[in-house]
Amino acid sequence: MDGFSDQPFRTICRQFGSAISYTEFINTTDVLQKHPYILKRIAFQETERPVGFQIYGNSTDEIIKAAEILDDYSPDFFDLNLGCSERHVASRGAGSGLLRFPEKIREIMTALVTHFHIPITAKFRIGWDKTSLNYIEIAKILEDSGASMIAVHGRTRDQRWREPALWQPIEAVKNAVSIPVIGNGDVRTIEDINEMFEQTGCDGIMIGRAAIGNPWIFSRINKNELSQTEILEMISKHWKNVEDFYGREKALVLFRKHLKSYLSTPQFADLELKQLISAADPIIALGIENQPS
């Protein structure tokens, strides 16, 4: 959810019933180098609590030092990212790249649990590829190292999002450990929520891409049953949040992806894009027409 789960978006999701907020993932190297984007990434409202700072890196010492800095901003927990499949992350042994080094995961998780008083959680994929499905091993390592909760995404790193997520491994992890297990992957509808709970026995469900343009999913409201007016009102609300947080110039660039998702629904199928944007908000329309595609 890098580039999507910022404070404006998470705040709306919380208002619709999301139980926990995770920040966009945070590069521990950027924290240590005091990259200016960090403060926006870790910004959250008190109403979002519990909120976790999602961190990634491949050096135990660097992760601890970065987390010590971030701890001053009072997150409720740290979440270790073991799931990012992007090449620039995984190829350097961070994110899902760490799945190839289970003992390194043990070292990092043990260090985090030892150094901090707040819970430490982790999200991971079911393996690097189909020949190395080590999700049970990783789950047990995380539990043995003191993780308070784990989230399992039902794809390998190599699959990225190209193939359907597998839910059976989530069930297997749930049966293998005693800490809470969160299921993730291909939960797009209210029916999917019910089916994942039933099929896996997981303790909670993590919804990511399906919430983009559809925060109603957290209230188990079918977006396709909403009126145009209800959707347009939400667009205006979200736009205002983004504009207030980033300023209008940057907001106009960042909001394009949200706008497209909000309007990708049968209620607007017969309208041209410019009509849709103008209906949503004249300011958005003016700004986006002047932005490069």
Within 10 angstroms of residue 47's Cβ, the number of other Cβ atoms is 11
Active site residue 13: no
Terminus-to-terminus CA distance in the chain, angstroms?
Answer: 21
Residue where the block lists tokens 């799945």: 99
Catalytic residue among 1, 80, 84, 252: 84
Nearest to 95 by CA among 138, 57, 148, 152: 57
Residue 23's contacts (CB-CB under 8 Å, 6 or more residues apart) are: 5, 10, 41, 42, 44, 51, 52, 53, 54
- Cα distance between residue 95 and residue 61, in whole Å: 16
- Amino acid occupying residue 187: V
Residue 121's contacts (CB-CB under 8 Å, 6 or more residues apart) are: 52, 77, 78, 79, 80, 147, 148, 149, 150, 151
φ and ψ at residue 114, rounded to 5 degrees: -70, -35
- Cα distance between residue 190 and residue 289, in whole Å: 35
Alpha helix locations (H) across 120-223?
135-144, 168-176, 190-200
Dig out the tokens for 177 from the structure: 């450990």
Residues tagged active-site: 84
